[in-house]
């Protein structure tokens, strides 16, 4: 198998190649595997007539498959913010090879086009003002969307300042009262009821400082 021609594409890294078997396809040089040890394929016209090994031919086709996967990924990113794991799943469901998907998503993440922490922050910002969940449940929801524990926790710390957390706690308590989640505590002596409430809220991920503020405000209202 030999190279008949290589022409520059519309992008800096895009090339159009024709092989002696009649195949014609595009690829990006950034996706060429390590089997290519020289830079001749990056220079239009420099590698014409070059004999290709089986590994090099496979590498060119791999780079071409990566370019097709990248185009699909960019369309998805343009529509909405994506997570790393979510984008991988979508690309594989569209028939892209897993190895190509990994290479493409890794590259897009390195360019900042896919960012789990940014996704988590934006997701939280759209929900904090209207949801009645606890921090623990918000973290669980992010994990269910493929966000790692560290990235989810970092996003929650960034978005949930003390005032926002206090407002969230108030909405959470309204929901729990409606669901009768904390109603049993009312039958206990006041001290035991407060202790039970604090433990319940702590287990839901609310900070001790915000729990104290909430309890103080409740006492002031009584």
pLDDT in the model for residue 13: 85
The residue-averaged pLDDT of 120-128 equals 88
CA 55 distance to own-chain centroid: 33
pLDDT in the model for residue 176: 75
Class of CATH domain 3-110 = mainly alpha
Instruction: Give start-end residues of each CATH 1.10.10.10 domain in the chain.
Output: 3-110
Look at residue 186 and tell me whether its pLDDT is greater than 80: no
pLDDT in the model for residue 184: 45
Above pLDDT 70, what percent of the chain? 87
Q: What is the largest CA-CA distance in the chain?
A: 89
The residue-averaged pLDDT of 139-155 equals 91
Residue 208 parent element (H or E):
helix 208-221
The Cα 79–Cα 76 span in angstroms is: 5
What global pTM score does this model have?
0.77
CA distances, 71 to each of 26, 65, 105 (Å): 12, 10, 11
Length of the chain: 222
């Amino acid at each position: 198998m030999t190279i008949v021609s290589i022409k520059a594409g519309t992008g800096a890294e895009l090339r159009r190649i024709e092989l002696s078997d009649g195949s014609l396809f595009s690829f990006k040089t950034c996706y060429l595997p390590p089997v290519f040890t020289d830079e001749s394929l990056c220079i239009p016209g420099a590698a014409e007539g070059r004999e290709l090994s089986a590994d090099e031919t496979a590498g060119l086709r791999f780079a071409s498959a990566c370019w097709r996967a990248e185009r699909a990924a960019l369309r998805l990113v343009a529509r909405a913010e994506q997570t790393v794991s979510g984008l991988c799943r979508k690309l594989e469901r569209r028939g892209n090879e897993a190895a190509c998907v990994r290479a493409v998503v890794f590259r897009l993440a390195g360019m900042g086009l896919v960012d789990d922490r940014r996704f988590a922050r934006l997701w939280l910002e759209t929900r904090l003002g209207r949801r009645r969940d606890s921090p623990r449940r918000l973290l669980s929801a992010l994990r269910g969307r493929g966000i790692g524990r560290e990235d989810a926790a970092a996003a929650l710390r960034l978005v949930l300042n003390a005032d926002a957390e206090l407002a969230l706690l108030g909405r959470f308590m309204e929901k729990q009262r409606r669901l009768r989640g904390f109603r049993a505590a009312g039958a206990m002596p006041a001290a035991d009821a407060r202790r039970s409430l604090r433990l319940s809220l702590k287990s839901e991920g609310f900070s001790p400082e915000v729990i104290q503020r909430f309890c103080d405000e409740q006492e002031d209202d009584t």
